[in-house]
């Protein structure tokens, strides 16, 4: 499974809230990528430019990788107590940094903003 799949899930999670509709086909994703059903903890950090815009991290692997990415992406964007909820104009310029805490160690991936500055 490529890092782009994981980052696409994180982006789609935020878009679901901003657009007010569910768009992630969980069943199809798990059929395509069985690893997504494994309990794996993640951390999502959102950046605007070089500044942190929201963070959410799981302390333990209690959810599937798929559900953990979805949960932490939404929490970082809309529930981080240090920031107001993310708005669409910020989202379009945001970079998503995803860390996966697997048994093999820590894996880190970063997206590009949708709109370049």
The predicted structure's pLDDT at residue 3: 75
**Residue 115 within a domain:** no
pTM: 0.89
Sheet strand arrangement including 105-110: 51-57, 41-48, 94-102, 105-110
**Residue 9 within a domain:** yes
Going by pLDDT thresholds of 50, 70 and 90, the confidence category of residue 10 is: very high
**Residue 42 within a domain:** yes
What's the domain range around 36?
3-110
**Residue 7 within a domain:** yes
**Residue 108 near residue 98 (C-beta atoms within 8 A):** yes
What is the count of structural domains for the chain? 1
**Residue 117 within a domain:** no
CA proximity to 55, closest of 86, 19, 89, 90? 86
DSSP state of 7: H
**Residue 102 within a domain:** yes
Report, as an integer, the average pLDDT of 83-95: 95
CATH of the domain at 30: 3.30.700.20
């Amino acid at each position: 499974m490529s890092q782009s799949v994981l980052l696409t899930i994180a982006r789609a999670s935020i878009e679901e809230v901003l657009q007010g509709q569910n768009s992630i086909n969980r069943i199809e994703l798990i059929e395509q990528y069985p690893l997504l059903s494994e309990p794996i903890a993640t951390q999502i950090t959102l950046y605007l430019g070089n500044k942190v815009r929201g963070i959410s991290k799981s302390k333990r692997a209690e959810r599937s990788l798929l559900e953990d990415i979805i949960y932490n992406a939404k929490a970082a964007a809309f529930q981080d107590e240090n920031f107001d909820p993310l708005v669409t104009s910020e989202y379009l310029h945001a970079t998503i940094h995803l860390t996966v805490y697997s048994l093999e160690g820590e894996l880190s991936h970063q997206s590009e903003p949708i709109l370049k500055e």
